[in-house]
Amino acid sequence: MKKSAYLLLTVFLLALPLIAQANEIILANLSDKFGQISHRDLESHQEFVFSGEFADIEHALTLANSNDMYVQFASVSAREDGKAAILIRVSPARNDASRHFTTFSNILRPGMFSWKSGNIPENMAVLTTVETSFNNSISLQGLTLKSSLIFSHLFPLIERTGELKDPFFSRGSYSDTKAGRIMDFTVICQW
């Protein structure tokens, strides 16, 4: 048992410089395209946070999914200036997340969903964040003034994508604001 533990530790220690080099390459590639990148070394993942255009998200995922590092998680939120706040986590654990990159990008393209920008409209459920671990589901988070709009406005938009299916209202909580009572919600979809 001790021998296998030492072997595993040795393999891990030998792999650390390769992981560090891969992260530097990913960081440099993302910086070339997106400018300033915040990077954190987490226990089992590397996290990159930056902003960019919604149309460039597939390119960002492809850049991060390189050099024997694989995208494990992505979160995209709308900023007030119309750009996307992007968080990507990668690790050396192999996966097939890249098969969802185009679908993820298509869902985020302008006009597919209404994103929060300024005040929340009275006739819409607007998105604030879309995130996934690139398994079989994707989470849509947003805000609405009327909970019924999740079903009458957002669900038809989800069906219209042709990419998402089986929307499930997962969570909703109300808060009182100057604009009125607002619901913060999460809808989980399959893809």
DSSP state letters, 107-128:
HHSTTSSPBP-SSPPTT-EEEE
Of all residues in the chain, what percent carry a pLDDT higher than 90? 58
pLDDT-derived band at 59, boundaries 50, 70, 90: very high
Whether pLDDT at 50 is above 50: yes
pLDDT-derived band at 171, boundaries 50, 70, 90: very high
31 compared with 132, residue with greater pLDDT: 132
Whether pLDDT at 14 is above 70: no
Its pTM stands at: 0.83
| pLDDT tens-digit series, residues 79-125 | 988 899 999 999 999 998 999 999 999 999 878 898 998 888 899 99
- Tell me the sheet residues that pair with 38: 49
For residue 40, give Cα distances in angstroms to 23, 35, 64, 88.
10, 16, 14, 11
| Cβ atoms < 10 Å from Cβ of 124 | 20
Whether pLDDT at 135 is above 70: yes
25 compared with 99, residue with greater pLDDT: 99
CA dihedral (106, 107, 110, 112) positive or negative: positive
Could you give the residue ranges of the DSSP H alpha helices within 129-191?
A: 148-149, 155-161
pLDDT-derived band at 5, boundaries 50, 70, 90: low
Q: What's the residue count for the chain?
A: 191
d(CA 188, CA 135): 12
